[in-house]
Structure 1
């Protein structure tokens, strides 16, 4: 099928009698609850269960091999190729499946707060609660914008349709297939709503660099003086938590672009982890969960309808989706200037990286390309405890282009705007996972605020002998023994062995980059 035939099939689907276009939040809440898709909570949010898929399914994500894009894509385990024939056959099956449904739900909106690079999108959903999720996560159009809205990319989501691998050419019943040429994202066999959000992010990661704009998996906020801070990190490292600061205005919590004008949010909402959420620790997120918000896999009391955020019986990856204006301190529209501070977040399960360290330019590029963290339980199917992982640019699952393309763009931005870069470990201290303890959020907040306020720019540092990182000797409000990870371990010999083990993993991983300058290779990584 060519693009015209695909478009005609989509047009026929969208003209069906079962289509509900651009329903309001109350209408979608009513539909989701009356159809038995979700329940209402005491706070007014709805809660839905996603079945056995409680996280992304990266092994079931594909990109169609097409002439216009095949030489640009970084093919491999992340960007798995699939043929046009497989896509076309599944597309027709899914469309026919959806035509038979009593009701379908369509959302029209945008990705990207910068009007100059904004992408017009639409989402066709089998479930009302999925459509509410998209309404809250993407940028919502005004009435005037809706009149002239022409979708450039379309998500077609059919969770109830399950593929047959033997017939359909997939790895499992689940599939997330992107056709850049036909401008369709086809999703089936999974109820996890995050697949829709991340699929659009992948599209933006393909399109924005083509326009000279750096796309970034990061959160961002800005102070009263216009000082912008970026927070890079994979799911569970603290991007959402640390960027939701009562003393600073939130630009966005997960996905951004950096153009010649500054930083802009790609989304119109937030998708926060809620495991162990409390009003005391994370008041901004806690208070954002109200009518119109969508909870995923959160256990709720059957009588009081009060959510139990400490219950991980369904998954560690419990989530809340809500529009960004549910956070009090936000920038409207979600755009700001150039970053002054960049924070790389890592949840180190080895417990050997400093809680905060200053990075030279070479170290910044080394750690950005390395993207080390621990994959936390529940963020992907099959992950039950932290696993060390190197995710290039802190977001390799979502990068269709070669990683060095994004890294080079970031290096140019750092040089041009003089941003200070810090590596912050929100993981373990005093021992590895299972022995030590998770870094206290209060300490992390204090250190990050000191970095953003410029208090660490001229502070005395000591250089770590294993990783070469520059550790501040003092940070007001943080015990000195916490700052140096070796001091926090009772067994120094055990620390040395574990640190050497992680350093070796860094070097082994970095060997895959063949086109990186010797300056970064020699001066950015571990010393041993």
Structure 2
């Protein structure tokens, strides 16, 4: 990453039996012999994570010190932890790890572009967590491993638990990032996703300081080298729509956009498995084989076949596998500047257009908004769909102010003439429960037209409430589907529902006090 600071942790500090960069077969053997997981019929390893089957955002902290004080966007997402509390936790974790009979270390990289990559080391007390790290980060060559000097170290100690009174945490669980010490502490949780996302948070802090926009998105590249980005919250279709047999995958979740182009931050994929099938998602289904890690997936007791439809442990079942398990990929995971940027939303109100072309100001507005709908039944207490907003489509992982990332996006859209589209994969003909989900074939046709440049100069009509420019025609899509109001039988009900959603947008955007008037005025038309 060309940063002079190094991690303050070295293996000598741990003074232990550390296995460094074990091969996949040796890690699998350790997992099975230590009874950390079981072998499945696919050849993958299945592990369970106990009571924590997802991230613990209320237990995530950044150390407040003279390095971070005036840079981090402090608040409910980036909770401060004082240096004295960090030191106590650090000593507690180090003592705990030293008492382990054996530890596992993975040395590798975050960032596929050598100019911007971050050398990382992940130290685990569980072999399966180390296999996870090996599959999600970028594995070094033998020569790179010899010269590897970690610039950030993750110490993952699930069995080390915090005392909230003594340690200044909110519970027994803690995920703490120290940018001064270049250390991440993880304790009290076995959920492996904390390892991946903590380094993503680190990259979201470091990369913008090098004029690189860090992004929570998937990316692919066409046969002619044209690059597309797909932003979207859970359930919007980001993974499904970026997996295209005619385009090569750069990555499915985390990317940087540098002066040279786009690069994947990861070396693997961490895919959701709920209802996974060979028919619907053949790439992901086929990627789960020897060396992959299944997390909280229920197995048949006799055959060890995964039952992806069984969510009795959690709806957040996951698979971790290396990128090379997918055939249609870019090697290395770097490409040029994005020609097309897609913002995905699954609007349950049925009022947003299925596709609209955004101005730069509208792009920054909707990037800051990060809107989708949370459906009834997905969380306890939700009885009807709710509007949900996550700044930059990745608020939980952004140490800096969302305005910083949006400003960088706007500058890059200008510089590289990227076309931006808002695509609604949600409901049409009425809200959730009345209308129907937009046909996937229509959505694919719209995205194909956008990627091929067919919508760049096409005639548009402006939506009266959202101010969005809707293409009058899209090849392969009925014209009547394109304007949401036309699909509703009850026009008055549409107007009322659309205005309610517009008001939700305005209410959410009030917190972006630093946004320019041009960006504020690019949102729904206030009535």
Give the TM-score normalised by structure 1.
0.94
Q: Which moved more, 1:485-494 or 1:104-113?
A: 485-494
- Long gaps (5+) in structure 2: none
The Cα shift of 1:475 comes to 2.3
The reply to whether residue 209 of structure 1 matches residue 197 of structure 2 is no
Identify the residue that residue 16 of structure 2 maps to in structure 1.
16
Contact 1:465 1:527 (8 Å CA) reproduced? no
The Cα shift of 1:378 comes to 10
Q: Distance in 1 between matches of 2:383 and 2:45?
A: 26
Q: Distance in 1 between matches of 2:191 and 2:219?
A: 25
CA-to-aligned-CA distance 1:326-347 (integer Å, 9 cap, x gap): 1111111111111100001122
Identify the residue that residue 343 of structure 1 maps to in structure 2.
342
How many residues align? The count is: 522
Matches within 5 A, 1:30-109: 30-109=29-108
Contact 2:429 2:487 (8 Å CA) reproduced? yes
Contact 2:445 2:477 (8 Å CA) reproduced? yes
The Cα shift of 1:173 comes to 1.3
- Long gaps (5+) in structure 1: none
Q: Distance in 2 between matches of 1:381 and 1:268?
A: 34
Determine helix, strand or coil for the equivalent of 2:521.
helix
The Cα shift of 1:226 comes to 0.7
Q: Distance in 2 between matches of 1:402 and 1:497?
A: 33
Q: Distance in 1 between matches of 2:365 and 2:381?
A: 29
Contact 2:231 2:393 (8 Å CA) reproduced? yes
- Structure 1 residues 449, 113: closer, same or farther in 2, change over 3 A? same
Q: Distance in 2 between matches of 1:271 and 1:498?
A: 36
The reply to whether residue 455 of structure 1 matches residue 454 of structure 2 is yes
Give the TM-score normalised by structure 2.
0.94
The Cα shift of 1:376 comes to 6.7
CA-to-aligned-CA distance 1:392-432 (integer Å, 9 cap, x gap): 11111111111111111111100111111001122333443
Q: Distance in 1 between matches of 2:244 and 2:506?
A: 35
Contact 2:152 2:182 (8 Å CA) reproduced? yes
The Cα shift of 1:239 comes to 2.2
Matches within 5 A, 1:129-278: 129-278=128-277
- Structure 1 residues 60, 299: closer, same or farther in 2, change over 3 A? same
Matches within 5 A, 1:291-306: 291-306=290-305
Q: Distance in 1 between matches of 2:411 and 2:27?
A: 44
Determine helix, strand or coil for the equivalent of 1:422.
strand
Contact 1:60 1:174 (8 Å CA) reproduced? yes
- Structure 1 stretches of 4+ moved >6 Å: 376-385
Determine helix, strand or coil for the equivalent of 1:115.
coil
The Cα shift of 1:435 comes to 4.3
Contact 1:358 1:422 (8 Å CA) reproduced? yes
- Structure 1 residues 479, 32: closer, same or farther in 2, change over 3 A? farther
Determine helix, strand or coil for the equivalent of 1:197.
helix
Contact 2:16 2:103 (8 Å CA) reproduced? no
Q: Distance in 1 between matches of 2:280 and 2:59?
A: 35
Q: Distance in 2 between matches of 1:293 and 1:456?
A: 40
Q: Distance in 2 between matches of 1:376 and 1:409?
A: 32
Q: Distance in 2 between matches of 1:280 and 1:497?
A: 39
Determine helix, strand or coil for the equivalent of 1:389.
strand
CA-to-aligned-CA distance 1:361-395 (integer Å, 9 cap, x gap): 22111111111123579999998986422211111
The Cα shift of 1:252 comes to 0.9
Q: Distance in 2 between matches of 1:11 and 1:387?
A: 51
Identify the residue that residue 112 of structure 1 maps to in structure 2.
111
Contact 1:109 1:139 (8 Å CA) reproduced? yes
